[in-house]
Amino acid sequence: MRVTQARVAAVLLLTVRGTPTMHYGDEIGMVNVPVPPESVHDPVEKRLPGIGMGPDPQRALLQWSERAYAGFSASAPWLPLANDFTIRNFEKQKNDSTSLLTLYRRLIELRRQNEALSIGEYSPLPASGNLFA
Protein backbone atom coordinates (compact mmCIF):
# COMPACT_ATOMS: atom_id res chain seq x y z
CA MET A 1 0.00 0.00 0.00
CA ARG A 2 1.36 3.39 -0.89
CA VAL A 3 1.91 5.86 1.93
CA THR A 4 -0.92 8.13 0.69
CA GLN A 5 -3.36 5.21 0.71
CA ALA A 6 -2.15 4.19 4.16
CA ARG A 7 -2.79 7.71 5.44
CA VAL A 8 -6.32 7.78 3.98
CA ALA A 9 -7.01 4.32 5.45
CA ALA A 10 -5.83 5.53 8.88
CA VAL A 11 -8.12 8.57 8.76
CA LEU A 12 -11.12 6.42 7.81
CA LEU A 13 -10.32 3.76 10.38
CA LEU A 14 -9.98 6.19 13.26
CA THR A 15 -12.70 8.73 12.45
CA VAL A 16 -15.62 6.47 11.53
CA ARG A 17 -17.91 5.30 14.32
CA GLY A 18 -17.11 1.91 15.76
CA THR A 19 -14.18 -0.02 17.14
CA PRO A 20 -11.03 0.37 15.07
CA THR A 21 -8.94 -2.74 14.57
CA MET A 22 -5.27 -2.38 13.76
CA HIS A 23 -2.57 -4.96 13.18
CA TYR A 24 0.88 -4.22 14.50
CA GLY A 25 2.91 -2.36 11.92
CA ASP A 26 -0.08 -0.55 10.38
CA GLU A 27 0.96 2.60 12.21
CA ILE A 28 4.33 2.72 10.41
CA GLY A 29 3.02 1.54 7.04
CA MET A 30 4.38 -2.00 7.12
CA VAL A 31 3.23 -4.28 4.34
CA ASN A 32 3.04 -8.06 4.04
CA VAL A 33 6.44 -9.62 3.47
CA PRO A 34 6.78 -12.34 0.80
CA VAL A 35 7.80 -15.60 2.49
CA PRO A 36 9.72 -18.12 0.37
CA PRO A 37 8.55 -21.76 0.69
CA GLU A 38 11.62 -22.78 2.71
CA SER A 39 10.80 -20.12 5.35
CA VAL A 40 7.10 -20.95 5.81
CA HIS A 41 6.11 -21.82 9.38
CA ASP A 42 2.32 -21.79 9.22
CA PRO A 43 0.76 -25.29 9.16
CA VAL A 44 -1.99 -24.31 6.68
CA GLU A 45 0.51 -22.93 4.17
CA LYS A 46 2.69 -26.03 4.63
CA ARG A 47 -0.28 -28.33 3.88
CA LEU A 48 -1.53 -26.21 0.97
CA PRO A 49 1.62 -24.59 -0.44
CA GLY A 50 1.37 -21.73 -2.89
CA ILE A 51 -2.26 -20.90 -2.17
CA GLY A 52 -1.35 -18.04 0.15
CA MET A 53 -3.76 -18.99 2.93
CA GLY A 54 -1.26 -18.84 5.78
CA PRO A 55 -0.69 -15.72 7.88
CA ASP A 56 3.13 -15.76 7.74
CA PRO A 57 3.33 -12.68 5.41
CA GLN A 58 1.41 -10.67 8.03
CA ARG A 59 3.65 -11.95 10.83
CA ALA A 60 6.75 -10.14 9.64
CA LEU A 61 8.95 -8.77 12.38
CA LEU A 62 7.92 -5.47 13.82
CA GLN A 63 10.37 -2.94 12.43
CA TRP A 64 11.76 -1.07 15.42
CA SER A 65 14.88 0.46 13.90
CA GLU A 66 17.34 0.31 11.00
CA ARG A 67 19.72 -1.86 13.05
CA ALA A 68 20.33 -5.50 12.15
CA TYR A 69 17.11 -7.54 12.00
CA ALA A 70 15.12 -4.29 12.28
CA GLY A 71 16.12 -3.96 15.93
CA PHE A 72 13.79 -6.87 16.74
CA SER A 73 16.42 -9.46 17.57
CA ALA A 74 20.15 -10.01 17.85
CA SER A 75 19.93 -13.15 15.72
CA ALA A 76 18.33 -14.17 12.44
CA PRO A 77 14.52 -14.16 12.74
CA TRP A 78 12.20 -17.02 11.78
CA LEU A 79 10.62 -14.98 8.98
CA PRO A 80 12.21 -12.64 6.41
CA LEU A 81 12.36 -8.89 6.93
CA ALA A 82 10.71 -6.33 4.67
CA ASN A 83 13.13 -4.69 2.27
CA ASP A 84 12.19 -1.23 3.53
CA PHE A 85 12.88 -1.76 7.25
CA THR A 86 15.74 0.78 7.23
CA ILE A 87 13.35 3.58 6.30
CA ARG A 88 9.99 2.28 7.60
CA ASN A 89 10.51 1.75 11.32
CA PHE A 90 9.45 3.24 14.66
CA GLU A 91 12.77 4.88 15.42
CA LYS A 92 12.77 6.78 12.13
CA GLN A 93 9.12 7.87 12.43
CA LYS A 94 8.74 8.63 16.14
CA ASN A 95 10.00 12.24 15.94
CA ASP A 96 8.90 13.01 12.38
CA SER A 97 5.87 15.31 12.47
CA THR A 98 4.84 14.17 8.97
CA SER A 99 5.17 10.41 9.54
CA LEU A 100 2.39 7.86 9.43
CA LEU A 101 3.13 7.01 13.08
CA THR A 102 2.54 10.65 14.07
CA LEU A 103 -0.72 10.67 12.11
CA TYR A 104 -1.92 7.54 13.97
CA ARG A 105 -0.99 9.09 17.31
CA ARG A 106 -2.86 12.31 16.49
CA LEU A 107 -5.92 10.46 15.23
CA ILE A 108 -6.03 8.26 18.33
CA GLU A 109 -5.82 11.35 20.53
CA LEU A 110 -8.57 13.04 18.47
CA ARG A 111 -10.72 9.94 18.87
CA ARG A 112 -10.19 9.97 22.65
CA GLN A 113 -11.21 13.63 22.84
CA ASN A 114 -14.33 13.30 20.65
CA GLU A 115 -16.86 10.73 21.78
CA ALA A 116 -18.75 11.02 18.48
CA LEU A 117 -15.89 9.26 16.71
CA SER A 118 -16.52 6.07 18.65
CA ILE A 119 -20.20 6.10 19.58
CA GLY A 120 -21.65 8.86 17.38
CA GLU A 121 -24.02 8.31 14.50
CA TYR A 122 -23.13 8.04 10.85
CA SER A 123 -25.51 9.34 8.19
CA PRO A 124 -24.44 8.66 4.62
CA LEU A 125 -24.95 11.34 2.00
CA PRO A 126 -26.01 10.56 -1.57
CA ALA A 127 -22.88 10.20 -3.69
CA SER A 128 -21.77 8.68 -6.96
CA GLY A 129 -18.45 7.33 -8.14
CA ASN A 130 -15.65 6.55 -5.74
CA LEU A 131 -16.86 8.79 -2.95
CA PHE A 132 -17.57 8.09 0.71
CA ALA A 133 -19.71 10.84 2.20
Q: Assess whether 15 and 56 both reside in one domain.
A: no
Report the phi/psi class of residue 122: left, alpha or beta, with left for phi > 0 and alpha for psi in -120 to 50. Answer: beta
23-37 per-position pLDDT tens digit = 889 999 998 888 888
Domain boundary among 82, 102, 117: 82
- Residue 43's domain spans which residues? 36-82
The domain total for the chain is 2
Per-residue model confidence (pLDDT) at position 13: 92
Q: Assess whether 78 and 40 both reside in one domain.
A: yes
Q: Assess whether 41 and 20 both reside in one domain.
A: no
Residue 20 makes CB contacts below 8 A (sequence gap 6+) with 13, 14, 111
pLDDT over 70 (residue 1)? no
64-94 per-position pLDDT tens digit = 999 999 999 899 888 889 999 999 999 999 9
4-18 per-position pLDDT tens digit = 899 999 999 999 888
